[in-house]
Structure 1
Amino acid sequence: MGANSSKLEKALTELPDGERYFGLENFGNTCYANSVLQTLYFCRPFRDRVLQYATSAAAKSAEDSLLLCLAELFYQIHTHKKKTGIIAPKRFVQRLKRDNELFRSYMHQDAHEFLNYLLNECSELLEKEQVQKHKASSTLQGTNGAPPTTWVHELFQGKLVNETRCLQCETVTNREEAFYDLSLEIEQNSSLTSCLQNFSSTETLDADDKFFCDKCQCLQEAQKRMKVKMLPRILCLHLKRFKYIEQYDRMRKLMYRVVFPFELKLRNTTDDCQQADQEMALFGVVVHVGSGPNHGHYVSFVKSHGNWLYFDDENVELTDEETVQSAFGSTQEYGSCMDHGYILFYERLDAQDGS
């Protein structure tokens, strides 16, 4: 990456001196982790909290963990003397494989599963630390005995309402659920907005899927829908590109074209949602490259100080919005395009802290 590195350094001279753009070494099919880690590093509020943790008293006294390895990796990048280069996330990958057997093989792994595991693991580790720190305090947990809220929750956790209406007595049952990301069904030649509208569309429960109504005390036909009640500061949207196709009796990749906007409002896709009118800005895209779910490659696009960059393991390049749009997908099911947006990262503009 020598020539590319010096070329990149020259191109980035006008960007802040404190920013770093490092490629990550691949340890045998670890592109799924590298692509997500790059996107999270350029998620400024997340990076800032991880760096704070890296120098905190809790980190100095903590046992070795995935969060600690992540903090060390981010700190190594952030404090590097050079602006560009390559870093080997060896300790992080070793810890990941030690903690979760799912990621131990050299088989093609799923970037969405990794993201989900990483966020849950970090929040659980932070919860444990808070509980240990305030064990004697009765004010740590709320009156409902809920676990403490961590900065992972504050950044990524939103709320859904699962609404079910009995068609016999019209009673509406609401169940609130937390989420770190939304998994969206996709269709050919569609848009992210239509995917979000379909996510919140009404579904009829009948025949073998009838709903047990507490008021009627029996199974009844009902209407069900999922509504976004509260948007998180960082909204992660997972496009469900891998699906079991019955006629082929196996998982296949859906190479559909799904157009995603650089600025998103959920006003037209949900009702009764807090922050629905607030604009969200795209800052990261994890892209799956390849024709199937069991093989392929992951890369990422990230936005840093108004510039789009392309990360492909060790390689880092400046790019543009037009190239990011190439990840929308192909208009034909078996088109030549192999690059498909898989996980989209948006940040609420009202929550941005100027970084």
Structure 2
Amino acid sequence: MNLDGCAHLRSFKTRKGTEPFRIVHSYFIIAASQEARKRKANSCYCHMCKQHRPRLHACLHCVFFGCHGARHIHEHARVKQHNLAVDLSYGAVMCFSCGDYVYDRELETIARDQRRKAAKNGQVKELCCPWDPTSAEIELLQRNPKRRKITESSTIGLRGLINLGNTCFMNCIVQALTHTPLLRDYFLADRHNCQMEDNANMCLVCELSRLFQEFYSGVRVPHIPFRLLHLVWTHARHLAGYEQQDAHEFFIAALDVIHRHCKGQNSESETNPHHCNCIIDQIFTGGLQSDVTCQHCRCVSTTIDPFWDISLDLGSDDARNNNNDTVNRGTSSGKLNGCDNHPESTTLTDCLKRFTRAEHLGSSAKIKCNACQINRESTKQLTMKKLPLVACFHLKRFEHSTRYHKKISTYVSFPQYLDMTSFMSSRRNDNGYINGTIAEINSDNNRYALFAVVNHLGTIESGHYTCYIRQHKDQWFKCDDALISKATLQQVLDSEGYLLFYHKQFLEYE
């Protein structure tokens, strides 16, 4: 990726400078003053079909607005040979000669300065990622699933990370985050507005923004993430030191720090008061519904809690207890160097079914019923009230107790594409799951595509983390610290799997 746009945009800036973009962005995107908003309302319509259509583009060469859906801006570009236009919804520059949107650091700086100036004067409220992931931004992604053009020989976004001393747990999570589609788009658009300007060197989000620029700059030599490691140690002190840490624990800690550093610039969500509208919550936060049903009167008490990931047990309680007994007796059966190599296997769907099935709480865990007003035996069931854009599944392979520490190496089969419809709260009744409507079952909104897998190799005492990432729809790569190598989809699906990352399928990119 060139940070200074394409050759056509550079040629345009040489001839006409940046003033055309500055005018379009100021009057028809920011529209900070009341006069500018009136001008925008009166002027923003397609000059061909005379309609106020979504995704209107303004030609940078002349005074012309054309809609993208009916391809009137494309027709204007072809006839007039005006190959550059600005999307008035997002401020992105479209090059029709290249056939894609192009990123330009100078124009983005102009746009950011205009947003900051307008916010400082109280003329706009939000500078950073004001979009709701259910509205216009997602519509853009749905309508343009091939927004990235990557050839088989492309190395954009592929870069190794130097291990700074047992930091493979951090490197694999960084690889997964840098290949998360919406997070990548957010940071490459430089949308982070730092809330720690007086001490920006301590902002983890600023460092991540720099890291994304490094990854997508086209440089191929491994990156040394020493600044990121320092900030992780500073903001998550329980991860400080050169001991091997848990990749899942680092993932949650990283999201938490990013969330805290972004939280000040976003108001709380009106639809979910439990989280804000920062980029982390927009991408990773889902809603988990807990239904507790009284076995006497069938009264249901419901609570909904936000989540960033879902931790899944790997087998039935009976099988797990048998394994525990084997370990406690000190025999070598099924155990080698701290790893349980039991032959049984399971699937991700089986784990999700166990996670969402109704559980009888028993007589020793009675809960006060809101209707009966006394303690009653109950059942509890967890379901998905709201699915996140990116779902992370944590397979609980590590068990710790006062008597033993062990790793569970049960093989878990996970799919390339996952449909979460069966686990939605809307399909629950007192008897478990019910059939959804045809529209619900066919909803693309519940379907996911795999894009990253974190694996742990070795034992609980001595192990190593690696990561598979998808750089292209059918191109997978294995990230082993500084080493990046080509992988096949089958190698990914055959891997042990510790953290599984899926994004909603309508975010599919080519």
The answer on 1:280 being equivalent to 2:443 is: no
- Residues of 2 paired with 1:57 and 1:91: CA distance? 19
The answer on 1:128 being equivalent to 2:264 is: yes
Deviations 1:164-205 (A, max 9, x none): 001112110000111111001112411000000000011111
The answer on 1:161 being equivalent to 2:289 is: yes
Pair 1:72–1:250, CA change in 2 (3 A): same
1:135 aligned partner: none
1:302 aligned partner: 469
Q: CA deviation at 1:98?
A: 1.4
Work out whether residues 451 and 502 of structure 2, in 8 Å CA contact, stay in contact via their aligned partners in 1. Answer: yes
The answer on 1:228 being equivalent to 2:384 is: yes
Deviations 1:11-50 (A, max 9, x none): xx93475813110001111100100100111112111112
The answer on 1:70 being equivalent to 2:208 is: yes
Task: Considering Cα pairs closer than 8 Å and 6+ residues apart, tell me whether 1 or 2 has the greater RCO.
Answer: 1
Work out whether residues 21 and 85 of structure 1, in 8 Å CA contact, stay in contact via their aligned partners in 2. Answer: no
Residue type at the aligned position of 1:73: L
**RMSD, aligned α-carbons:** 2.4
Q: CA deviation at 1:350?
A: 2.1
The answer on 1:347 being equivalent to 2:503 is: yes
1:3 aligned partner: none
Work out whether residues 206 and 220 of structure 1, in 8 Å CA contact, stay in contact via their aligned partners in 2. Answer: no
2:410 aligned partner: 256
Q: CA deviation at 1:146?
A: 5.8
2:178 aligned partner: 41
Q: CA deviation at 1:141?
A: 6.8
1:140-155 pair list within 5 angstroms: 142=270, 148-155=276-283
The one of 298, 302, 314 aligned to 1:174:
302
Structure 2 counterpart SS, 1:169 = coil
Work out whether residues 416 and 493 of structure 2, in 8 Å CA contact, stay in contact via their aligned partners in 1. Answer: no
Residue type at the aligned position of 1:36: I
Work out whether residues 195 and 265 of structure 2, in 8 Å CA contact, stay in contact via their aligned partners in 1. Answer: no
Pair 1:145–1:43, CA change in 2 (3 A): closer
Pair 1:245–1:149, CA change in 2 (3 A): same
Work out whether residues 282 and 345 of structure 1, in 8 Å CA contact, stay in contact via their aligned partners in 2. Answer: yes
Pair 1:175–1:18, CA change in 2 (3 A): same
Q: CA deviation at 1:130?
A: 3.3
1:107 aligned partner: 243
Q: CA deviation at 1:142?
A: 4.6
Count of matched residue positions in the alignment of Structure 1 and Structure 2: 316
- Residues of 2 paired with 1:160 and 1:172: CA distance? 16
Work out whether residues 244 and 251 of structure 1, in 8 Å CA contact, stay in contact via their aligned partners in 2. Answer: yes
The one of 157, 166, 169 aligned to 1:29:
166
Deviations 1:213-261 (A, max 9, x none): 1222221100101011111111111001112367xx1221100011000
Point out where structure 2 has 5 or more consecutive residues left out of the alignment.
1-149, 316-343, 428-435
Q: CA deviation at 1:271?
A: 4.9
- Residues of 2 paired with 1:228 and 1:119: CA distance? 21
Structure 2 counterpart SS, 1:86 = coil
Q: CA deviation at 1:267?
A: 2.8
- Residues of 1 paired with 2:424 and 2:207: CA distance? 38
1:229-244 pair list within 5 angstroms: 229-244=385-400
Deviations 1:98-130 (A, max 9, x none): 112211121110101111111121122111233
1:323 aligned partner: 491
- Residues of 1 paired with 2:494 and 2:449: CA distance? 18
Residue type at the aligned position of 2:456: H
Work out whether residues 127 and 147 of structure 1, in 8 Å CA contact, stay in contact via their aligned partners in 2. Answer: no
* Stretch of structure 1 that moved more, 40-49 or 308-317: 40-49
Pair 1:56–1:262, CA change in 2 (3 A): closer
Residue type at the aligned position of 1:169: C
2:234 aligned partner: 98
- Residues of 2 paired with 1:317 and 1:27: CA distance? 20
2:255 aligned partner: 119
- Residues of 1 paired with 2:373 and 2:207: CA distance? 52
Structure 1 counterpart SS, 2:459 = strand
Pair 1:343–1:57, CA change in 2 (3 A): closer
1:331 aligned partner: none
Instruction: Return the index of the structure with the highest Cα Rg.
Output: 2
Residue type at the aligned position of 1:77: F
Residue type at the aligned position of 1:26: N
* Stretch of structure 1 that moved more, 263-272 or 296-305: 263-272
Residue type at the aligned position of 1:75: Q
Residue type at the aligned position of 2:257: E
Structure 1 counterpart SS, 2:194 = helix
Work out whether residues 67 and 125 of structure 1, in 8 Å CA contact, stay in contact via their aligned partners in 2. Answer: yes
- Residues of 2 paired with 1:175 and 1:116: CA distance? 22
2:318 aligned partner: none
- Residues of 2 paired with 1:156 and 1:144: CA distance? 14
Structure 2 counterpart SS, 1:272 = helix
- Residues of 1 paired with 2:176 and 2:272: CA distance? 35
Deviations 1:275-333 (A, max 9, x none): 764321101000011122x4311000011112000000000001101211331xxxxxx
Pair 1:174–1:299, CA change in 2 (3 A): same
The answer on 1:58 being equivalent to 2:225 is: no
Q: CA deviation at 1:96?
A: 0.5
Point out where structure 1 has 5 or more consecutive residues left out of the alignment.
1-12, 132-139, 328-339
Work out whether residues 200 and 270 of structure 1, in 8 Å CA contact, stay in contact via their aligned partners in 2. Answer: no
Residue type at the aligned position of 1:310: K
